[in-house]
Chains A and B, each alone.
Chain A
Amino acid sequence: MNKRIVSARQAKDYLSTLKPIWCPGCGDFGVLNALTMAFARLALKPEQYVIVSGIGCSSRMPGYLQGYGFHGIHGRALPVATGLKLVRSDLDVIVTIGDGDAYGIGGNHFLHAARRNVDVTCVVMDNRIYAMTKGQLSPTTPLGDVTATTQGGSVEPPLRPLLLALAAGATFVARACSWEPKRLATLLAQGIRHRGFAVIEVLSPCVTFRPEDRTLRERVVWHDREPTHDLLEAMQAALEGDGLTLGLFYQVGRPVFCGESEVHREVPMPKSPRRGLDAVLAALGESAAQD
């Protein structure tokens, strides 16, 4: 037999041949690198995961990675990922989206994916702006900031995404940044291994439409405590440092959403009298049994 030594996949082997369209210096490069590092660390085969995204600069991610991906429509990545995971629970499903996708147009899906505890990893590249459409207000743009659509400064207070994730029922809640890809990779690997809805909010600056966010580097601090099981404690920690504290705040185990089929096996079906469709299916079952 022709024995060949197969060397382990390196991080760079997870990159596709497509060249990113991102601006030089865009935070999303860091997230791409971190994802490949996490995959290498977990020794994932490209056919073991699926990357699902919406629309935006950040949502270009699936095309830049080896393996299967789904580049869907704006705001609807989480439902696509939910449907996919429900029928292929053997795959790691990773959602890579922007703040607009996650908290704006797709906000409702974010709530319900967290509530259901769908077993996917939701990586939100938060650049605090709508970048793809050239710099409009996002749900996470700070109060008072000038954007293309708030020329006099935003009058809307920003959302606190991690509080939302915690309140809605996410079971793994972390914040990281794109300029420290190694630490991000660690959190991504943990998030992928976590069973349940894992939210990893990544500060990923848009150098073109929010160049001022380069200074975030100086303002972030790592929260190096162990993740808590206590919801209120986690909320407190997520609020610290003006919402710029990084780390894993919360991790708990809770049954994951599996659709009805598994639950069904445990709950006996009520004995439905044989009428209508029930009667037809029973008759078909009987005739099939005779064949």
Chain B
Amino acid sequence: MAVFGSGGRGVMLLGDLLIETAAACGLYGLLTRTYGPEVRGGESACFLRLGSRPFEMMPDALDLVVAFDWSNGEHFQQELQFKPNGWLIYEETVGDLPHWIPPEAVRCPVPWKRLADEIGFGARPNLVVFGALCRLLGLEDEPARAVMTARFGERDVELALRAFEHGAAWAQQAGKWGRRLPAVATDVRRWVLTGNEAIALGALQAGCGFFSGYPITPATDIMEALSRHLPERGGVLVQAEDELAAINMAIGASFAGKRAMTATSGPGFSLMAEGLGLALMAEVPLVVVDVQRVGPSTGIATKTEQADLWAAVASSHGDNPRVVLAPSSVRGCAELTVRAFDIAGAYRVPVVLLSDQFLGGRVEILDPIPLEGMDRCEQTADEHMEAGRRVHPSDPGGADAPTALSGRPGGDCVAESLEHDSSGRPDSSFRTHQFQARRRREKLQALAGEEGWIECCGDASASVALIAWGSTGGVVREAVRAAEAQGTKVKGIILHLLFPAQPEQLERILQGAEVLYVAELSSMAQFFYYLRAFYRLPSRVVSLARPGGIPYRAGELVEALTATGAAIRGAQHE
């Protein structure tokens, strides 16, 4: 279903209340939010999918659309695809329906305003609507009340409950329409989390002790979540003056021995390029989150895209063999954040965690994730250092050589951005540069050899394979399932470790595949060319690349896998 209306109508609150209530009723669900061109104010819509299994994508068409008004509704026109017998529930006094509402939609005008006025709620009918929707969808009252109490507090909940009950009573009496969702009995307390909250959770679980960031949509809520929870765990959080400062502060804190992280989106990530190179050269562990938005430049702050891939792998001058991880689900956001800290510490490298707006901003109902305990560890200490000897983190002692830690007696060490020898002294000789450049590259080989980073779904023996990364990976999982239901066998592949590349592992997985479809939200087909550069692929590889803004729907991918669709779309990059 979708709910939309202009700013101030409480669309987002209604979405939150519905998904929280659904979670309390034992359902799974997915909530996404879409905004008009402004980050604040203007019109907004939320999309909600509820059911008895987890979801990673909105359905291709909607069962139910709830509209508070029609102002600028055309912004969402593309996303409002009705099912043939889909319902449109709307405020009855808003006048004529816009021309783009499909004629087959079942129209249900409702007196929201009058109902809200009756109990003095005038301008904000959202809680009345909430009551009505709960009744119509078959969501129970008890969980809904608990959700409202948690949201509004004991004191203010009375008023909210009045509105809720008024709406519910009306729906009861109107009673002619609605869909009952399957009630699921469960005593599991499921989690209701966004991808960004999951990253914050992963950071806390991994023992992150320092965060510095600069506000930017759609990454800011990572910093906001940590600002509530990091200090109470003894960590430090700073809002830096810009992203140059943010990444360098994190590097300083990491050099001092704390697990450190920063998070940003495209424009900020560009500013961090220089700092990534510094962390690499000085071999200071660091986790950098990029929640991608539409680019280039300021682009579209509130919409998703996957076009920071090349920047994540290669931004910053010089040879930069860093680690790039890409979660493809909310669960993955938490798990890979923990991994990111472990890898950064073990290999003394910067790790880029590439998320995107679709992952970061969506709310999922998910089963609890088993994560290892909090307060894992500080960084590798330099206790092994021999007193008086100048020891540098780039000692060729392999991945587990000590990280530079300031302030241990006997230590004597300068983290160095110039090319340097194993003792940390600046050295511009060819021999040293050759040795160090190679060592920096080769120290990631152990990681590249690890199994388990490439996820497969669908039919392993299928001759058609579909590959993606990031949030599009979730759509691939849904698309493979949908294709199977239509009798088409597809091997779905999702990469989670983008750098270092794993050509041998992928080759093994691709065995038997005659054609490989590559799905990604990037007009320049960054993933497609990345695959061609680093992997051995089947002779026929077809790009389904398109710009971001709206994520793929599963149906879009299934359709593309049929020969005609693919021939048209893939013509540019094949």
Contact = CB atoms under 8 A, between A and B. Distances in A.
B426 A63 contact: yes
A55 B426 CA distance: 13
A269 B232 CA distance: 9
B417 A91 contact: no
B248 interface: yes
A62 B238 CA distance: 26
B231 A273 contact: no
Nearest to A264: B231
Contacts of A112: 240-241, 245
A273 B275 contact: no
Interface string B191-213: 11110010011001000011010
A281 B234 contact: no
A195 interface: no
B122 interface: no
A263 B231 CA distance: 9
B257 interface: yes
Given A72-B282, A73-B278, A82-B245, 5 more contacts: A71-B416, A80-B248, A80-B251, A84-B252, A288-B374
Interface residues of A, number: 58
Contact of B236 (A62, A67, A71, A86): A86
Interface of A: 16, 18, 45-48, 50, 52, 55, 62-63, 66-73, 75-76, 78-88, 90-91, 108-109, 111-112, 258-261, 263-264, 269, 271-281, 283, 288
A73 to B, nearest CB: 5
B153 interface: yes
A76 B248 contact: yes
Q: Report the contact-size class of chain B (Cβ under 8 Å from the partner).
A: 35 or more
Q: Which 9 A-B pairs have the closest CB atoms?
A: A83-B252, A259-B236, A83-B249, A79-B248, A80-B252, A69-B414, A83-B253, A84-B252, A264-B231
A71 B252 contact: no
B210 A83 contact: yes
Contacts of B232: 264, 269
A88 B278 contact: no
B249 A79 contact: yes
B489 interface: no
Given A72-B417, A112-B245, A279-B192, A273 B153 contact: yes
Given A50-B407, A68-B406, A280-B193, A63 B414 contact: yes
Point out which of A70, A71, A88 has the most chain B C-beta atoms below 10 A from its C-beta: A70
A69 B244 contact: no
A87 B250 CA distance: 10
Contact of B412 (A66, A90, A111): A66
Contacts of A87: 209-210, 236, 253, 256-258
Nearest to A59: B417
A114 to B, nearest CB: 11
A86 B240 CA distance: 13
Contact of B227 (A50, A84, A260, A274): A260
B407 A82 contact: no
Interface in B209-244: 209-210, 212, 225, 227-232, 234-238, 240-242, 244
A209 B275 CA distance: 30
Contacts of B278: 72-73, 76
B412 A83 contact: no
Nearest to B204: A281
